[in-house]
Amino acid sequence: MIRPTTFGFNAQAAETNIYMHASSLAETAIRDAALEEFDAMVAALRAHDIDVSVWDDVPPKPLPDAVFPNNWLSVWSDGTVFLYPMGPPNRRGERRSEIIKSCLPGVKVVDLSATEEHGGFLEGTGAIVFDHDNKVAYAALSERCDQELLEKHASLLGYRPVVFRTDYKGMPVYHTNVVLAVQPTTAILCAEVIQDSTELRKVRKALSRTHTVVEITTAQLVAFCANVLVVANKRGQHFLVLSQTAYDAFSEQQRTILGKTAQLLPVSIPTIERVGGGSARCMLAEM
């Protein structure tokens, strides 16, 4: 996790992320609120014996979205780390070799970011939702998720790509992990934003083969109900990390289904969500 010491509204990212909102508060007040939320989230994870490695972003160069590290790297059990091409130019400085060298010594780093120079973007586990158990890579196409790059990456990993298009208020949803989440036995899907019936059937079929699917509304999508992640603590217990906003937006029945195999662990991050346009899953780069 990256502590957001230079957090703020990112106008470059907001061009494709309509879930970000500029605030009338002073920059220092926004940053202080984000830091308080971040520190409380880290404390909540550690209180449940979940191992967390925390790094500050790097002032004086502002990195307003650095709190969302899952967009620039993914870590694999064979010792490979992939670095991904990022859309907003002011996010590309988030890729930091010293973090990898410190947290993951001896890994093989595969840098895919060169395609940024000619407009090819694939923003990590924001753009791709991996079903690791069944080797499926789900991807909602957008300016931040190039289909050719996605299919090449999935092929390299030995995953089957399931690609679809979305529309919310006339724009593609900027990241797949706002639309869809895959847990070990459950999945969360906002079907309402997949306009093409054939693509929707394909996604539902792929998910329902192996998962109990919890479908959410667009109102729940905006509440970041799909931006969640299951993590394991040091004792092997599973937790579904989600924001308090998402938790409150789920129905009791949905919470019961999701909580059957993982304890729900809500964290309060309203400033990060509203100003940054991302939620709990985006804040976690799993290792």
Reported as a single tens digit per residue, the pLDDT across 146-159 is 999 999 999 999 99
Domains of the chain from N-terminus onward: 2-283 (3.75.10.10)
Residue 61 has pLDDT above 90, yes or no: no
> What are the Cα distances from residue 175, in Å, to 16, 26, 39, 79, 171?
10, 28, 25, 26, 12
Q: Give the span between the Cα atoms of 265 and 159, in whole angstroms.
A: 29
pLDDT at position 229, please? 98
How much is the pLDDT for 59?
77
DSSP code of 254?
H
CB contact set of 251 (below 8 Å; sequence gap of 6+): none
Say what the pTM is.
Answer: 0.95
Q: Find the radius of gyration of the CA atoms of the chain.
A: 18
Q: How confident is the model at residue 19 (pLDDT cuts 50, 70, 90)?
A: confident
Q: What phi and psi, each to the nearest 5 degrees, are found at residue 90?
A: -80, 5
- pLDDT of residue 280 exceeding 90, the answer is yes
Among 61-75, 97-111, 122-136, 260-274, the range scoring the smallest mean pLDDT is: 97-111
As a whole number, mean pLDDT of residues 50-61 equals: 91
- Identify the pLDDT of residue 104: 86
Tens-digit pLDDT profile for residues 203-215: 999 999 999 999 9
Please state the rounded mean pLDDT for residues 250-255: 98
Please report the pLDDT score of residue 38 as a whole number: 98
Q: What is the DSSP string of 35-64?
A: HHHHHHHHHHHHHTT-----EE--TTS--T
